[in-house]
Amino acid sequence: MYAVIKTGGKQYRVVAGERLKVEKLEVEVGGKVALDQVLVLSDGETTTIGAPIIKGATVNATVVSHGRGDKVMIFKFRRRKHYRKTQGHRQSYTEILINDIGGKSVAAANPATAKPAAKAKKDDLTIVEGIGPKIAELLIADGIVTFADLANAKVEAIAAILAKAGSRYSTHKPDTWPQQAALARDGKMDELKALQDALDGGKVK
């Protein structure tokens, strides 16, 4: 589970047990602090976005230390004015330890804005010999978006998708497509290349 919080005018993505440095807080070392400017909550399956914050949600932390960052040198110069000025600055910070992400549960915090987890990333199905960009679009539209999807699909089901798209696509033979996709899914690219060398347009020579 993670949260995106706002403190000191900056936003941070945090998880329980993490240490981070934020703009200086007026809290003693060892003191507890409740950060209630929670912008996003996610439990890995559902993501809730505040408007702008999630009411009732807090991130609890402990102040570990106070300090100052590395010195930044500032140099000002105006030509032909005999003006030069060098100045140093060290920004103060507070290091905190994230104890837990409390408050309302993710789903209950704002159910109207709850989002499902991101879908699996699409694979380039055109790596499979016999599949061009247009056929790849047909497969994706039918829910076959990854090598794993194609590897698990039955040849008859793939042929039905092609037949539904018209005679231009129904002449393609998808007999080896699941086999090729399984090799691509498992990262066996050398074996895939050897198989494709033995094929002609995705069909056995």
Mean pLDDT of the region 55-84:
93
Looking at the chain, the number of H-run helices and the number of E-run strands are: 7, 13
**Calculated CA dihedral for residues 199, 131, 165, 170, nearest 10 degrees:** 0
pLDDT in tens, 142-171: 899 999 999 999 999 999 999 998 888 889
Model pLDDT, residue 197? 87
The pLDDT of residue 71? 93
Tens-place pLDDT, residues 47-65 = 999 989 999 899 999 999 9
Tokens at 109, concatenated? 């915090």
CA distance 12 to 94: 14
Angle at 114 between CA 110 and CA 115, to 5 degrees: 165
The torsion of the CA quartet 154, 164, 146, 181, rounded to 10 degrees, works out to 50
Inform me whether the pLDDT recorded for 112 exceeds 80: no
The residue extents of the domains of the chain are 2-116, 125-204
Pick the CATH number of 125-204 from 2.50.20, 1.10.150, 3.30.300, 1.10.3680: 1.10.150
Separation CA 124–CA 192 (nearest Å): 14
